[in-house]
Amino acid sequence: MILNKIILEKYQLLFMTGCLAFIFYSSATEASKQYGSTVFNRGDYISHELFSGVWQGHEDEYSSLMLKLNQNGNGIKGQYCYITQNGNRIDCPADNINNLSGIIKGSVAEISFDSSFGGKSGKSKLTINGKEMRWTLLAEPKDGVSYAPTHYTLTRSTDKNGSQSESKVFINDKFTINIKNRCGTFLMPCEEMLYVGVRNSDGSSISLYGKTILSKNNGKVVGAEFSNGNIIYHVYYDKPLLQVTKNGKVIVNQTGIWKNDN
């Protein structure tokens, strides 16, 4: 009788342990569906893949916010780039410079960021909800000038590891034009191209969004196209050429060179 009682108690204990394990596994599975592969850290779900990547958002043609993030455990660092006033204010770091860092708690990160206009240690909260990220400004950068948005909704625009953007500079005696592929390498098909052109004579500038031009023969990238109302800017890569049309009529047709090419 005593032996049977001991065996019964052991089976009850094993049954309870199995139930708890099932509940724990089910909770982890649900969190994994929402946030990706997860580990547990002090009771919070922290996904190694949750924040990493390139996140972007647009408000028509007026502004664009891009965050390039790299998550390591519960830490985060990367780049903050905000373009506003129809491209007349570009607050972005150099390609290899990180200007934000922060701490992740679950699906929320609190970050500190610097402005390229001199402002330091701005504060913002990043909240991931499903496939979207919400930017909420907590404090403007100190000193200098900042145009940081108060609220913005972003979506991940590349794979979770984040592709590196690549730029090239077209130059001739009249113009200096920075062309950036924000999807990855310079010759990658992309609908997130950035054109920043400067007229050498007076320093006036224009910033435009655009997309790559693909060859009709082989589908490879041969250039990029940018629109400004009824004015279309084409930059061709192989034999560097800037061609601008207005209402279909060519008004600029100038060759140049790539600054970084030998």
pLDDT digits (tens, 9 = 90+) for 145-166: 778 999 999 988 754 444 567 8
DSSP at 143: S
Q: Which of 238, 237, 212 is nearest to 225 (CA)?
A: 212
Between CA 51 and CA 154 the distance in angstroms is 12
pLDDT band at 95 (very low <50, low <70, confident <90, very high): low
Q: Which of 180, 170, 176, 225 is nearest to 199 (CA)?
A: 176
pLDDT band at 22 (very low <50, low <70, confident <90, very high): very low
Give the per-residue pLDDT at 96.
Answer: 74
Between CA 86 and CA 103 the distance in angstroms is 32
Mean pLDDT of the chain: 79
Give the per-residue pLDDT at 104.
Answer: 94
**pTM for this prediction:** 0.52
Give the per-residue pLDDT at 61.
Answer: 58
To which residue do tokens 């019964």 refer?
8
Give the per-residue pLDDT at 122.
Answer: 94
Position 119: which residue type? G
Rounded to an integer, the average pLDDT of 68-74 is 89
